[in-house]
Chains A and B, each alone.
Chain A
Amino acid sequence: MASDRDISRQLQASVLDAHHSTRHLQLIGSGSKRFYGREAKGEILSLSAHSGIVGYEPTELVITARAGTPLEEIEQALTEKGQMLPFEPPRFSGGGTIGGAIAAGLSGPRRPWGGAPRDLLLGIKLLDGQGRILNFGGQVMKNVAGYDLSRLMAGALGTLGILLEVSVKVLPKPPQEHTLTFYSEDHNTWTLIRDILGKAIPVTATYSRGNRHKLRLACNKHRLKRIQTECGLETVDHQEEFWQALRDQELDFFQRKAPLWRISLPPAARLGLADETLNEWSNALRWLVSEKPGEEIRTLVERQAGHAVLFRNGDRTGERFHPLQPRVAEIQRKLKQVFDPKGIFNPGRHYPHY
C-alpha cells in the first residue's frame, strides 16, 4: 500500500526537544539493518511514517522520496517505467527504506557497474542536530554549487542528521539479463573475469564461491550465445532469485553464526587467508566468515589498500568499521560537530566516541 505522509514538523519537534535536553536518538526506518554497526543507543525515533514518493519523472531519471518510503514501493514505481535503482540496495529480511539504504551506503551485486548510493544521490533535505531543515544538492545530474554535503550523508549511518527527503538518480533497467556459470580454481578466477571485462562485455554482477562462479550479463540472446562460445561458459536459466538472494544475504553462506566480515579490496588483491570467501563485484567485495582476531584480518586487508567491516555477529561494543587515520578521525569528529553539536544522533553506532 503506497503511503504519503509528511511528518517533518513532528520530527523537527522531536529533534529540537532532544537537542535542548541532550537526549540521544536512535534513528530507525524499517529496522532491517539493526544488526549493522556498533550497538545502537538512545530513544528510538522512527522515520517510517515519513513516507511517500514526492516526485518521479522517468524522463528526468530522478526520483525524490521521503526517507521512510519502503524500497519495495520505490522499486515498484520504477519497474512500471522500466527503470531501477542502479545500486541495487539490499533488502535484508525483505525490508528497507530509501532513507536507510542511503544512510547505510550499502549496494548490491550491480555496484561496480551501477554505482553506490553516494554515486546516485543527487540531493537531500536534511534535518540536522539543531533541528534546522537544510537542502543540499538538488534534482539535477550535475551540480557543483557549494560543497557536496548531500553525498557526505551516504554511508554516514544517520550520524549527521535525518534525511527527510532524498533525490536519487535512476537508470533504465536492462531489458534482458542472463547468467553464465563456470568452474575454475580460485586463483584463476580474476584472470578470467578481467579478460571478460576487458572485452567491454556488459557484466552487471559476479559471484564466486570456491571453484564455482557466476556472471550476470545485460545483453540479448544472440549476443549471449556469441559470448558463451567465445569464453566457453555455460548458461543457467532463471537466476533472478539467486541474485536477489545474494543481494539480501539469504544464501546459506550468510546464515552462519560466526563473525561475518565485509572486505573491500582492489579486485586483483590476494589476501593470503586460508578461509573461504564469497566474492562479488568482480572480486572487489569479499565476504569472510572467520573467528580470527579483527586486528589480524585488518592488517592483511590494509596491506592491500582495502578495508574490513565486521558486518554481522561478533562483539558489537568494539570496532565494527575499519579504524581511521588519526587526522581523518579528527576531521570526522569535527564534521559531526557541525551537523550535530550535541551528538544526539545514533551515538557510537558508527565509531566509538562519535
Chain B
Amino acid sequence: MHNRQTLVRKFQQMLPSDCVIFREEELIPYECDGLSAYRRVPLIVLLPYTADQVEAILKFCHQQQIPVVARGSGTGLSGGALPHEQGVLLSLARLNKILEIDTENMQARVQPGVRNLAVSEAVKPHGLYYAPDPSSQIACSIGGNVAENAGGVHCLKYGLTLHNLLRLTVITIDGEKITLGAGGLDAPGLDLLTLMTGSEGMLGVVVEVLVKLLPIPTCRQVVLAAFEDVEAAANAVAEIIAQGILPAGLEMMDNLSIRASEDFVHAGYPTDAEAILLCEVDGIDDEVAEEILRVREILLKSGAVQVRTAADEQERIRFWAGRKNAFPAVGRLSPDYYCMDGTIPRSQLGKVLKMISEMSDRYGLRCANVFHAGDGNLHPLILYDANIPGELEKAESFGGEILELCVAVGGSITGEHGVGLEKIDQMCAQFTDQELETFHAVKAVFDPHNLLNPGKAIPTLNRCAEFGAMHVHAGKLRFPELERF
C-alpha cells in the first residue's frame, strides 16, 4: 500500500505544484474514461508539462513500484484509462504542443496531448491533413490514438493510426527515452513502432509522435442509398469492392440508428429504410464524378430503393453528420447505451445481424447497429437503463455474446476501441493459453514488474479458466452451429 500523503510530498518536490492532484473532489473527474460504467478513483493524478517530467515520474514510480495508468483525453470506450486505486493516473493532456510542421516532408511532430482534429486544422493552410478521423476527433488525443491504434470512417482507403505514423518517442517504465520508427518510411531492426501502436499503454508512455500528412483531396462526393433489406445493403458493399472501387468511406446504418440520427440531426435520411449506405469517393474533379456514377449504378443494381448524391458540400456534410452523431443520437433513445466494437468478414454480416436481433429479443434489450462496412467493423449499440437493477449486467452479457459471435465467424472482439478492461474476458475466446502467455511474455520484456496499466488488455490464464467454466455449459460451446475459425 502506498501512502497518498507521502507520495504527494514526493511528487510536489519533483514537479510544479499544479501538476499534482490529490484532493478527493479533484480526483473524481478522472475516475473513468469514455466507458463510464467502470469507475475507480486513483491515488494521485499527475499532469506534467514536459517529457522530462514524465521521465522523472516514471523513474520514481518504477523505483517505488507504483502502478501507472497513462491517459490522453479520456474518450476511450473500453476502460483502457480506468485508474488504478493504488496508482498514479498520468495525464498527458498538458503535453499539447504541435512541435513542428514540416510541409517539405509532409510530416508533423506533435506531443501526445494534441487533439486529433487540431493537427488537421493546423496544417490546413498548407493544403494538408492528418487522415485518421475517429468519431471523437474533436476531443481525442494523438497519444490516445496511438495507444488504441484508432480508426475512423476513412480507414479503408487511408488506413488506421498505425499507417499514418512515422516515429514515436517513448519513455520506458524505468525512465529511458527510446525512439521507434524514423523520419523515413521504415526503420532498422524489429518493427517496434507497430508493436507499440495499439498496446493500450501497457508497454511504455508515448511523449512525441511524428505523423504523416496527406494532401487534402480537391473533391469529395458522397452517395446515400436506401435499402429495404439489410442483406441487400451488405451485398451492395461487396459489389462496390468487387468492381474495383476503393471508397474513401463506406458506412452502413440499420433502421433504429437511421431513425435516431434523423430525429437528432435531420440529415435527410429515409426513416423507413431497413438500412442505408453512405459511400464517399474522393480525388480530383472529373474522376470523382465518373466514379460516383459507377457507384450509383452498382447500388441500384444491388436493389437500392433510393440513391441520392449529395447536391452540394452542405448536404455532404449533413449526410456525414447523421453518421458521425449516431452514437449520441442513439443515446437519446434510452437512459444508457453500451457500444460494442467487433469486426467480422463482411460476408458474415447478414448472418451476424440476424443473430444479434435474436439475442436482442432474448435479452429484451434493443440494439442499434452502425457499421464501418468497408472494413467489417460493427458497432452494435445496446440500449439499457442502469437504474433498473440487473439491466447493466444484462447489457454486458448481451455485448459479450456479440463479441464471441464475431470471433466465431472469423472476426475479432475489437476493431478500434481496444480491449481495456471491458473486453478482457472475451480475449479468452479469441486467444489460446499459449498465445496469451506470449502476450504476457512480451509485456514482461518492456515492463517486468507489471506497473504500466496493470490488469488491462491481456487476461491472466486463471481469469480465462474461470471465464471458460462459466461459458461452456454441459460441455457445449456457444454457437455450436458455426464453423470455428
Inside 8 A of B438's CB, which chain A residues have their CB? 128, 134, 149, 338-339
Inside 8 A of A142's CB, which chain B residues have their CB? 151, 155, 160, 343, 372, 375-377, 412, 415-416
Min CB distance, B312 to chain A, in Å?
Answer: 20
Inside 8 A of B230's CB, which chain A residues have their CB? none
Residue from the set A138, A147, A268 with the largest chain B CB neighbour count within 10 Å: A147
Inside 8 A of B436's CB, which chain A residues have their CB? 146
Q: How far is the CA of A151 from the CA of B184 in the complex (A)?
A: 18
- Given A149-B438, A334-B445, A200-B183 contact (CB < 8 Å): no
Which segment of B8-16, B51-59, B101-109 sits at the interface? Answer: B101-109
Q: How far is the CA of A112 from the CA of B341 in the complex (A)?
A: 30
CB of B242 within 8 A of CB of A144, answer no
B28 within 8 A of A: no
- Given A134-B438, A220-B287, A338-B441, A305-B343 contact (CB < 8 Å): no
What does the 1/0 interface line of A336-349 toward B look like (CB < 8 Å)? 01110000000000
B475 within 8 A of A: no
CB of B246 within 8 A of CB of A172, answer yes
Inside 8 A of A154's CB, which chain B residues have their CB? 191, 194
Min CB distance, A221 to chain B, in Å?
Answer: 12
Q: How far is the CA of A116 from the CA of B458 in the complex (A)?
A: 28
CB of B184 within 8 A of CB of A143, answer no
CB of A335 within 8 A of CB of B442, answer yes
B366 within 8 A of A: no
Residue from the set A60, A145, A304 with the largest chain B CB neighbour count within 10 Å: A145
Inside 8 A of A211's CB, which chain B residues have their CB? none
- Given A139-B345, A268-B105, A144-B188 contact (CB < 8 Å): no
CB of B215 within 8 A of CB of A198, answer yes
Q: How far is the CA of A339 from the CA of B437 in the complex (A)?
A: 11
Least CB separation from A308: chain B residue = B188
A212 within 8 A of B: no
Q: How far is the CA of A144 from the CA of B180 in the complex (A)?
A: 19
CB of A152 within 8 A of CB of B187, answer no
A window 213-227: CB within 8 A of B: 219-220, 222-223
CB of B163 within 8 A of CB of A266, answer no
B439 within 8 A of A: yes
CB of A148 within 8 A of CB of B194, answer yes
Contact of B195 among A151, A199, A222, A306 (CB under 8 A): A151
A259 within 8 A of B: no
B430 within 8 A of A: yes
A329 within 8 A of B: yes
A274 within 8 A of B: no
A window 266-283: CB within 8 A of B: 266-269, 281
CB of A305 within 8 A of CB of B457, answer no
Q: How far is the CA of A141 from the CA of B377 in the complex (A)?
A: 8
B468 within 8 A of A: no
Residue from the set A143, A155, A172, A268 with the largest chain B CB neighbour count within 10 Å: A143
CB of A141 within 8 A of CB of B286, answer no
Q: How far is the CA of A224 from the CA of B436 in the complex (A)?
A: 52
B172 within 8 A of A: yes
B186 within 8 A of A: yes
Contact of B199 among A135, A139, A147 (CB under 8 A): A147
Inside 8 A of B151's CB, which chain A residues have their CB? 142
CB of A156 within 8 A of CB of B427, answer no
Least CB separation from A115: chain B residue = B163
Q: How far is the CA of A105 from the CA of B186 in the complex (A)?
A: 10
- Given A132-B434, A134-B434, A307-B182, A151-B191 contact (CB < 8 Å): yes
Min CB distance, B347 to chain A, in Å?
Answer: 7
B238 within 8 A of A: yes
Contact of B194 among A152, A199, A337 (CB under 8 A): A152
Q: How far is the CA of A305 from the CA of B107 in the complex (A)?
A: 13
Q: How far is the CA of A172 from the CA of B419 in the complex (A)?
A: 32
A264 within 8 A of B: yes
Inside 8 A of A147's CB, which chain B residues have their CB? 195, 198-199, 202-203, 439, 442-443, 458
Q: How far is the CA of A31 from the CA of B180 in the complex (A)?
A: 30
A182 within 8 A of B: no
Inside 8 A of B427's CB, which chain A residues have their CB? 145-146
Q: How far is the CA of A171 from the CA of B105 in the complex (A)?
A: 26
Q: How many residues of B contact A (CB 8 A)?
A: 92
B window 307-366: CB within 8 A of A: 343-347
A352 within 8 A of B: no
Least CB separation from B245: chain A residue = A172
- Given A146-B457, A154-B191, A219-B287 contact (CB < 8 Å): yes
B179 within 8 A of A: yes
Least CB separation from A112: chain B residue = B185
Q: How far is the CA of A269 from the CA of B166 in the complex (A)?
A: 15
Inside 8 A of A197's CB, which chain B residues have their CB? 106, 215
Min CB distance, A127 to chain B, in Å?
Answer: 12
CB of A139 within 8 A of CB of B159, answer no
Residue from the set A62, A135, A197 with the largest chain B CB neighbour count within 10 Å: A135
Inside 8 A of A136's CB, which chain B residues have their CB? 435
Least CB separation from A196: chain B residue = B215
Least CB separation from B237: chain A residue = A59
A window 35-86: CB within 8 A of B: 57-62, 81-83
Inside 8 A of A175's CB, which chain B residues have their CB? 244
Inside 8 A of A329's CB, which chain B residues have their CB? 189
What does the 1/0 interface line of B419-441 toward A look like (CB < 8 Å)? 10001000100111011101101
What does the 1/0 interface line of B130-171 toward A look like (CB < 8 Å)? 000000000000000000110100011001101100010000
CB of B163 within 8 A of CB of A82, answer no
Inside 8 A of B192's CB, which chain A residues have their CB? 152, 328, 331-332
Q: How far is the CA of A350 from the CA of B104 in the complex (A)?
A: 33
Contact of B185 among A140, A143, A264 (CB under 8 A): A264
Contact of A116 among B186, B217, B441 (CB under 8 A): B186
A34 within 8 A of B: no
- Given A142-B151, A304-B183, A328-B180, A266-B105 contact (CB < 8 Å): yes
Known: A59-B239, A147-B203, A194-B106. 11 other contacts (CB 8 A): A83-B244, A146-B458, A172-B244, A198-B127, A200-B216, A201-B284, A328-B178, A328-B192, A331-B445, A338-B441, A338-B442
Partner-B contacts on A (CB < 8 A): 57-62, 81-83, 105, 111-112, 115-116, 118-119, 128, 132, 134-136, 138-149, 151-152, 154-156, 160, 171-173, 175, 190, 194, 197-202, 219-220, 222-223, 264-269, 281, 284-285, 304-307, 309, 321-325, 327-329, 331-332, 334-335, 337-339, 350-351
Can you report 28 residue pairs joining A to B where beta carbons are below 8 Å apart? A57-B345, A59-B347, A60-B347, A116-B186, A135-B431, A138-B411, A141-B343, A142-B151, A144-B149, A144-B414, A146-B431, A148-B194, A154-B191, A155-B186, A160-B190, A194-B104, A197-B215, A198-B127, A198-B215, A200-B284, A268-B102, A323-B188, A327-B172, A328-B179, A328-B192, A331-B178, A350-B189, A351-B189
Give the top 7 A-B pairs by smallest Cβ distance, nearest first.
A305-B183, A142-B415, A172-B244, A322-B188, A264-B184, A59-B238, A141-B375
